[in-house]
Chain A
Amino acid sequence: MEQKVKAEILNSEDIQRIITRLAHEIVEKNRGTENLVLVGIHTRGAYLATRISKKIEEIEGGQIPTGFLDITLYRDDFRTRLKQPSVEVTNIPFQIDEKVIVLVDDVLYTGRTVRAALDALMDFGRPVRILLCVLIDRGHRELPIRPDFVGKNIPTSIGEEVKLLLQEVDKEDKVLLVESPSQ
């Protein structure tokens, strides 16, 4: 289904600059890379986490452990959804106890995905702190959740949707404001 594009908000260079800034902010807040790990939420959050971790490695050197999390099995709409979404493999190949986790997602909206991700992370251990990093914050939170690092705030109406396209899956980097399909 083609969605009507209302505006292109960010282009490829904008996204690169934002990732560079987010990487610097994360290192600044953590005062270095000690105990720092990144966890991206499938699908696009995982690619963003990989990019940010590469950027941090460029700035600070060393390796930043980076994992991927699928939250499908922790969602709160299991009983009401029509179709089963496919489940991706979670891969967090390191201990998260006593670590500072930066959770990475593409678009922050209701906060329900982040709630599920927090539950999932708790099943892996007891991190000393979890910080939230999102590329886009589009508002309309339904849960008391706020991001620590924001790429860009994009105030939207309910009838709109923010779509992130990434090279790794969509062959181009772009952020679009589109009309919601239900409208």
Chain B
Amino acid sequence: MAFQSKHLLGLDGTPAEDIITILDTARSFREVLDRPIKRLPTLQGKTVVNLFYEASTRTRISFELAEKRLSADIVSFSASTSSVKKGETLIDTVRNIEAMKIDMVVVRHSSPGAPHLLARVLNANIINAGDGGHEHPTQALLDIFTIRQKLGKLKGVTVALVGDISHSRVAMSNIYGLKKMGARVLVCGPSTLIPREIEKLGVEIYYNVDEIIPQADVMNILRLQLERQRTQLFPSLREYHNYFGITRERLEIASRPILIMHPGPMNRGVEITSNVADSEHSVILEQVTNGVAVRMAILYLLAGGQREAN
């Protein structure tokens, strides 16, 4: 099956076949990361621009490493040190950058839909590295890759997304991607952090963590996005921890080992305790390693070949 997508804007619009191709291809790149020389000549001559309008360490380093390991030429840009400060619009900035002959743009922006806007005005391939509270497709793909790597399948697997669903682009992309792969998705958190009508996406809603622990194969524990919450949505961090924090004691009621995931950065002692985050069931650091492989696969698949006239 040939890869169809020209951009990776979100998992909502990505065909299931393309998601499977990305996951399969990422396995080959994962192997490259264990070699003594972790470099491939594949993207020689391609230029990738990383546009980060929002703070990021993990995603940005992961993308830069993925690009370097494929031998692409890269330029990184952060909004704080650029002409954005002088009032240039997003479209003008990227049109200027594209005029310097680049092939791909990785973009993170606080406005939902910013990558979609770029896809309309540019010829380059666009990869969404997080757009506001909308989607974060590469994070979801690396989560899904890690689940498949650990459990050997996705169909019928029960994945619980716990915490701040409302403000989480990671949750949205995970829901779209996991549903397309045939997984069962539970969401759990305080009612103020669960968006209305989310059940229309085919997920089951729970407000009590102790009800999901016995059912889940995987728990993806989301970060409390304090910077995106405009009003007080729960009384205190301590109360949140008491009701929704994932602790070792709480996990005792599980009937089988649960894979513990977290997209990072963690608020230790709030949504997850250290003895869970560092436990033998935690794959949080493997998620980070897999992230580089998944991003290499996406860059490779989007850059490659000459698509028939767009």
- Complex CA gap A35/B28 in Å reads 27
> Which A106-130 residues have a C-beta within 8 angstroms of B?
119, 122-125
Q: Give the number of chain B interface residues (Cβ < 8 Å).
A: 26
Q: Which residue of the partner chain, among A78, A84, A87, contacts B2 with CB atoms under 8 Å? A: A84
A residues near B42, Cβ cutoff 8 Å: 73-74, 78
Q: In whole Å, how far is A46's beta carbon from the nearest beta carbon of chain B?
A: 14
Whether a CB of chain A sits under 8 angstroms from the CB of B45 is yes
B306 to chain A: closest residue by CB:
A82
Q: Which residue of the partner chain, among B28, B37, B308, contacts A124 with CB atoms under 8 Å? A: B37
B43 to chain A: closest residue by CB:
A78
Whether a CB of chain B sits under 8 angstroms from the CB of A91 is yes
- Complex CA gap A79/B32 in Å reads 21
Q: Would you call B306 and A89 a contact (CB within 8 A)?
A: no
Whether a CB of chain A sits under 8 angstroms from the CB of B31 is yes
Q: What DSSP secondary structure best describes chain A's contact surface? A: loop
Whether a CB of chain B sits under 8 angstroms from the CB of A86 is yes
Q: Which residue of the partner chain, among A74, A84, A89, contacts B41 with CB atoms under 8 Å? A: A74
> Which A39-95 residues have a C-beta within 8 angstroms of B?
70, 73-74, 78-84, 86-91
Whether a CB of chain A sits under 8 angstroms from the CB of B300 is yes
Q: Would you call A84 and B305 a contact (CB within 8 A)?
A: yes
- Complex CA gap A171/B39 in Å reads 37
Q: Would you call B305 and A124 a contact (CB within 8 A)?
A: no
Q: List A residues at the B interface (Cβ < 8 Å).
A: 70, 73-74, 78-84, 86-91, 119, 122-125
Closest 10 CB pairs of A and B: A123-B37, A87-B28, A84-B304, A73-B42, A73-B40, A84-B305, A83-B2, A89-B28, A81-B305, A87-B25
Q: List B residues at the A interface (Cβ < 8 Å).
A: 2-3, 21, 24-25, 27-29, 31-32, 35-37, 39-45, 300-301, 304-306, 308
